[in-house]
Chain A
Amino acid sequence: MARALLRITTRCCSPLYAPSSLPSRLRSHGLPPTLRFPSLSFSASAASTSSHGPSSGKEEEEDDQGKYENYLGMTDDELMAQCDMGTFKSSGPGGQHRNKRESAVRLRHHPTGIVAQAVEDRSQHKNRSSALSRLRTLIALKVRRPINLDNYTPPVELLQILPLKSTIRSKDVGSQIGPNNIKFSPGMQALLDLLFAVEGSVSEAAKILGLSTGALSRLILSDDSLRAAANELRASKGLKPLR
């Protein structure tokens, strides 16, 4: 019972599920103003650390994976190696003077500048893994990778989060992965990449994914953070938000 309570409370505190209920400290740290959706234009793609332009030759195409780093495909250790880990600094004399947990973990992902943090557990270890999974979600939401629509095939991570009725989804993709699954993030990232490539048009994206516009809308609306990111993207293209 207590465990269940703990789980529920943790979820409520998580920026992934209820961004608006976050304490302001978390929110302001989580989305530094200068980093708010840095990826909404091709030229300023936060994912690209190289100076390559859009792909123009065969050699470049082979290089695609390296050019737009697949952060979400990395193991926790690899991703961690790209991060600075800090704990929250306390004021005052500290040491024996204070009784205060300092297990909070703050991760700053160098290549993208994205910051993720977790405070809700006593163990720094657990906070680190929560922060890391939050980082994965934030990367999915913020880092846009260009897509060439002419020869686009949706990656398997994206197929996995689509409803079964999608006509481009074959049986071997398996059952649909929902927002609570850790594998949802890579699919969400690919979906936002596609939505970005079609200028925010849900109907265009739905056509490519073999879904009705309604079905894709429902998928986007099924997760608060995905909906918020999609709507921000649509707003930047002058489109009305999905509801």
Chain B
Amino acid sequence: MLSLSARPILLPKPRLRRLLLPRPLSAATASALTPPTPRTPTTAAPADPTPLFLRPPTHPVPPAALEAFRRRAAALVPPSAPHLHRHLRWFLADASTPDHLLRAPLDELEALWLAHVRDRRPFQYVVGNEHWGGLVVAVRDGVLIPRPETEAVLDMVRAVQGFEGGWWADLGTGSGAIAVAVARMLGPHGRVFATDVSEVAVQVARLNVQRYGLQDKVEIRHGSWFEPLEEVKGKLMGVISNPPYIPTGDLPGLQPEVGWHEPKLALDGGKDGLDHLLHICEGLSSALKPGGFFVFETNGNKQSEFLVDFISTKWSSSFRNVEAVLDFADIKRFVRGYRR
């Protein structure tokens, strides 16, 4: 999965105009299900790993040329996907400034838009950010795009008594979205330790920590789950994680934006999807201080029910108030509880 992010893109520029002429969009109009084989991945990550929205606006463009691009891009939007018009608006907002400067040459913008519409490259990778939990989180190929469901974790953290002053861990932080958002809620003594086994994730998470000026509050550590946290063992007020939880067998059926483009490392939870969740559960009691809080995201109802039952029977002496929590779609999305 790391190789995905490093693959350079070399697009034959003269072909672009031709590619952008409207034609029927088979892939883009297809259902949300992934066809058996992805189309040839014409679009890997761009050569410049800096997220588009953070690049300096150094490319002047005549208003008429930009408007012509907007019309061409809009013509590519199939009637079955009207939300792409909204994406186009956001794309232009992120890629340009009011005084007609672009953050990438127009040719590159054309290619990026095409990749989104035709190759189902996630919009968030195209512009390099996701608006999440009140933040603009930088993302790029190789890190999981934060999901709206996960925002609920922030409310759960806020509901923990004395959370402001505690030490928190975010395991498998990815873009660092949770770590940054939690750190912003903490008081002067609160800290977040965020770990990830992926080097790309560590880079992106550090970028986000830096963008929000939280270097003193958040420490990003490279390593798997609890591994880099030896010396804070038993001192944590809370452990948060959104680990990979999708059963391996479900991966081929994922929405193309997810299955074709997001890192398997961040999605694949093993045969039942529980591999990493169970590993995290095993480590909880030694990582948390007495009374400490944990919450993690799961694949939904069955997994949550299983984990609640598993934790409360196997470790009944270690944990209390273990329960499943619903997401906004009324799916039991989270499992939370306290160490005794």
Contact = CB atoms under 8 A, between A and B. Distances in A.
Interface in A94-147: 94-103, 119-120, 122-125
B96 A1 contact: yes
A154 B149 CA distance: 48
Contact of B258 (A3, A89, A98, A102): A98
A122 B124 CA distance: 11
Contacts of B267: 96
Interface residues of B, number: 50
A60 to B, nearest CB: 44
Contacts of A1: 63, 66-67, 96, 98, 100
Nearest to B133: A124
A120 B329 contact: no
B255 A94 contact: no
Contacts of A89: 328-330
Contact of B148 (A2, A4, A97, A103): A103
B93 interface: yes
A98 B254 CA distance: 8
A220 to B, nearest CB: 32
A100 B83 CA distance: 10
Given A95-B149, A97-B258, A6 B331 contact: no
Given A97-B254, A98-B258, A4 B147 contact: no
A102 B150 CA distance: 11
A2 B255 contact: no
A87 B328 contact: yes
A96 B269 CA distance: 11
Q: Is the interface of A mostly helix, strand, loop or mixed?
A: loop
Contacts of A96: 144, 147, 242, 244-246, 258, 266-267, 297, 299
Interface string A1-29: 11111100110000000000001000000
Interface residues of A, number: 32
Contacts of B298: 95
A91 B258 contact: no
Interface in A133-172: none
Contacts of B246: 96-97
Given A1-B66, A5-B70, A98 B131 contact: no
Interface in B69-124: 70, 82, 85-86, 89-90, 92-93, 95-98, 100, 122-124
Nearest to A9: B89
B255 A99 contact: yes
A224 to B, nearest CB: 22
Contacts of B63: 1
B328 A6 contact: no
A161 B258 CA distance: 51
Q: Which among A3, A101, A102, A122 has the highest number of chain B CB atoms within 10 Å?
A: A122
A176 B297 CA distance: 54
Interface in B117-165: 122-124, 131, 134, 144-145, 147-150
Contacts of B92: 2, 5-6
B149 A3 contact: no
A24 to B, nearest CB: 12
A98 B96 contact: no
B170 to A, nearest CB: 16
Contacts of B66: 1-2
B304 to A, nearest CB: 11
A161 to B, nearest CB: 30
B300 interface: yes
Nearest to B254: A97
Nearest to B92: A2
A90 interface: yes
Given A4-B98, A90-B329, A120-B86, A95 B300 contact: yes
A91 B300 CA distance: 13
Given A5-B70, A9-B89, A90-B329, A99 B95 contact: no
A101 B127 CA distance: 14
Nearest to A125: B134
A95 B258 contact: no
Nearest to B259: A97
Contacts of B328: 86-87, 89, 102
A166 B71 CA distance: 45
A222 B77 CA distance: 34
Given A3-B93, A6-B89, 18 more contacts: A1-B96, A4-B98, A9-B89, A93-B299, A95-B149, A95-B297, A95-B299, A96-B242, A96-B246, A96-B266, A98-B255, A99-B122, A99-B145, A99-B262, A102-B149, A102-B328, A120-B89, A125-B134
Interface of B: 32, 63, 66-67, 70, 82, 85-86, 89-90, 92-93, 95-98, 100, 122-124, 131, 134, 144-145, 147-150, 242, 244-246, 250, 254-255, 257-258, 262, 266-267, 297-300, 327-331, 333
13 contacts: A1-B67, A4-B98, A6-B93, A9-B89, A89-B328, A89-B330, A93-B300, A93-B331, A94-B147, A95-B331, A99-B258, A120-B86, A124-B131
Nearest 6 pairs of A and B residues by beta carbon: A102-B148, A99-B257, A2-B92, A122-B131, A2-B96, A3-B98
